[in-house]
Structure 1
Amino acid sequence: MTIRDTSVCYFDSTMAGAPTLNGLAGSMISVLDACLLDGFGSVSVTSLTVTTGVATLTVNAGHGLVNLGASASVDIGVVILIGGVSAPRDGLNTRWRASVTSPTVLTWTCGSTIPDGSAQGVITVQRAPTTGWSRVFSGTNRAAYRSLDAAATGLYLRVEDAGSNATEGARVARVVGYEAMSDIDTGTAPFPTAAQQAGGLRWIKSYTADGVSRFWAILADHRTVYLWVNCGAVVAAGRGRFTFGDCSSFVTGDVSNFILSGNLAALVGGYYSMVCRERAMPGSASAHYVARSYVQSGGPVYLHYLTPYAGGGNVGQGLLADPCLSDGRTWVAPLCGGESTVLPRGTYRGLFELLSVYQVRTWLTPYVDVSGAPATLLLMAGGHADPAHAGDVLADVVGPWS
């Protein structure tokens, strides 16, 4: 049996031990730290045994982990982190993608190098963070993140979550990318520039400046992070999607293919973030920036969504039937970004656009028979019943992403 890949991790606010996102200062940074650096939901293990390369873990009080896609009998599994195992089975102290056998039992293939028997020690299991990311600088309700992975561009994301803007308060976190930083408040080659968007882009956390918990979800690997937030907006209680990290570039030797997306205003007409769905960039409410143009010179440029079979102005509005009449499958295409309508730059790693006519879909619905994508995808829905505000994508939640 093959040890399963753990590079792609999914997190959301419904999970045991998950941090809270709300309209108070610092809550966005708490979410990012938990998912990119620390993990969460640690519990004490009752027993952990290995038999012919398969590990079985039991938590009598319940491990609190849920297998995505279980409703369709799709074993996507959950990425866990084990700690506290003593020699000779201390090789278990790492990341694994485990199957959720029951509310108290997890199993996974651990390979033949770990000897059979019962593990000893003060053993814990938790939801593992993704790998590769570091918080390189920090301040009060401020943080700068960077991927240290050898394949990554290594550019910086600065998050300001102090609520210092008099109008927006702590309902909104401000974000800016930099090509280099020397401390939390000093960076060079920002994207967007101050001329493009003064104060940076906005990640809307909450429609109200209070402690009311808001839904969030993160899908990430060591180079790219996608963040969904339902801020509780009065007009459209959907899930806006924000992006930071590398795209899969079409440009040979691309070293500036870091994308940052966000809103241009704190809230537009009471709507949630439109950054997940507008094809034109900058749109009426949102923008995606890439650090430099494909020629690797100059400053940051806008990206547009470029996808085939467009039935409307937004992502998720296609023309095909679902399932497609010719083969009975759901058709998708990689979600593509371009510097203009005729200049593709790269694809959003792990994300696929539905090419079918818009319909109301349910968050995290498994798709196991798709054309043009990996075998198993989960729906990451914009969560809105109006096709004018679509934004649904399918996501590879197993990996690895190319």
Structure 2
Amino acid sequence: MVASTDTKFYVHTNNNAPQLQNAYGCMIDVLDACLVNGFGSQTVATLTASGTTVTATYGSAHNYLQYQVIKLANANQAEFNGEHRILTVPDANTITFELAAVPSVTTATGTITSSLPSLGWLKPFSDTGKAAYRSANTLLASRPYLRVVDALDPAYNAAYAKYAKVGIVEDMTDIDAMLGVQSPFDTSNPNKNWVASGSGTSVINGWAKWYYARSNDWQVDANADTLSIVAGIRNWMLVGNQDCFYIFVNPTTNRNYKFPYGFGTFKNYLSSDMYPNFLAATLDYSSANAVTNKATLTCLASTVSQTLLLQRNSVNDATPQITANLISLFNKQTVCYSGSVDYFASYSLAGGRIFAPVIVLENGNLPRGQLSLINWLMQAKYDGIDNIFSDGGRGYFLISVTCAQGNNGAVILDLGGLI
């Protein structure tokens, strides 16, 4: 068997990757590239096979990472074309991958190109600074929209922190025509998440936010959104499949600990659950000059504030503003920050990483399901900022994240089977 290609990931250092910076619209650029369009086409100089192992050589640095999925096109021999997971990166100009069978020739011909294919999501509606994304998987029980507003609100100062306003929308007929349940939502103020109110430094702009440019990358700090923002590109990484994705963003330029955000379907435990959809965002409805908690889904503890938005509750009614906690069934104490502390034996003592699923806990005691792709690291991370590794025939990506109270940690992303 060859490596699976269902789960894909992208990083800001890939060739021709769109960049997050101190400018509105760049979050939509990243989402368009990764979810819908793909990016980074480049010419393959040579493509040679030894048995089922294929080596692709480039005339310059390809800037791919191990276990990324590429799409080959335009080879005259069809068995080389299609999606492949990179298994090794021998050097800056070379990658290898496996075919399911020995090809008909040892050296492929044609004007061969490779690119990073998208996750295959849909973008049914858009306007300037606005976009709506949706899974293309029609087998899902429900397929809500991720609505994104990544434009300067007239009441907000362009010099303040930058973020996209995001929300779950059950149905849409246009980018501004939203139907059914929304999350977050306030029945007394339907535009609370989308339209700013107030003025000056006390302006309140949005509720569920994906930050990508601010003065500090701590989720809890002494910095308001009114503080000055430096120019420059930000580190980001996006991982996902046809059902869900996570985007990890460092909103500053001087560090590499990222805010983890995400959207999509989780693995539901309840057979009657027809709406197992989530949104991970910074939930913050406060004035721009306020010093508030920017916590995202890394604040993994059953007694800490609700950190995950759900489309609907477990009985599928239309109650607005459903939130859930994130826990691990292996928690040894009340508060647990993923990858921050050795809750079990350290890596050196245990002889490996100890990680566990992330459970969606509704109403404080109902384990409604499990987040896909992402795992809770039960040890202090030991191996630098970010790290790609394999274990038990699967590929993993350890991503450094910033946790609540300034604790830095990490989560582990499952990239799928390698054999």
Give the TM bin, normalised by the shorter chain. Answer: 0.7 to 0.9
1:248 corresponds to 2:238? no
Distance, in Å, in 2 between the alignment partners of 1:391 and 1:378 is: 14
Q: CA deviation at 1:33?
A: 1.1
User: Contact conserved, 2:394 with 2:415, CA < 8 A, in 1?
Assistant: no
Superposition deviation, residue 381 in structure 1: 1.7
Distance 1:101 1:270, change over 3 A: farther
Contact 1:48 1:119 in 2 (8 A): yes
Deviation at 1:16, TM superposition (A): 2.5
Cα deviation per residue 1:236-273 (whole Å; 9 max; x = unaligned)? 97311111001111111532111012113387977894
Long gaps (5+) in structure 1 = 68-76
Does residue 33 of structure 1 match 2:32? yes
| Structure 1 residues 300-350: Cα deviation after superposition (integer angstroms, max 9, x where no partner) | 41010122324453432563221386x544322201111122111111111
Counterpart position of 1:156: 145
Look up the SS of the partner of 1:289 in the other structure. strand
Q: Which runs of 4+ in 1 moved over 6 A?
A: 266-272, 280-284
Paired residue type of 1:120: T
Q: Is the 8 A contact 1:82 1:126 kept in 2?
A: yes
* TM-score between both structures, scaled by the size of structure 2: 0.80
Which residue is equivalent to 2:116? 127
1:70 corresponds to which residue? none
Q: Counterparts of 1:1-400 in structure 2 under 5 Å?
A: 2-67=1-66, 77-86=67-76, 89-98=77-86, 99-112=88-101, 114-130=103-119, 132-152=120-140, 153-164=142-153, 166-167=155-156, 169=158, 171-188=162-179, 189-195=181-187, 198-199=193-194, 200-207=207-214, 211-232=231-252, 238-265=257-284, 273-279=294-300, 287-300=307-320, 301-307=322-328, 308-311=330-333, 313-316=335-338, 319-323=343-347, 328-356=351-379, 358=380, 362-366=384-388, 376-383=395-402, 389-390=407-408, 392-399=410-417
Identity %: 25
Partner AA of 1:355 in structure 2:
M
- Amino acid of the residue matched to residue 327 of structure 2? L
Structure 2 residue runs of 5 or longer lacking an equivalent are 195-206, 215-227
Question: What RMSD in Å do the two structures reach over aligned CA positions?
Answer: 3.2
Change over 3 Å in CA distance of 1:56–1:253 after alignment to 2 = farther
Paired residue type of 1:338: L
- Structure 2 Cα separation of the partners of residues 313 and 237 of structure 1: 24
TM-score by length of 1: 0.83
Shift of 1:112: 2.7
Q: Alignment length, in residue pairs? A: 379
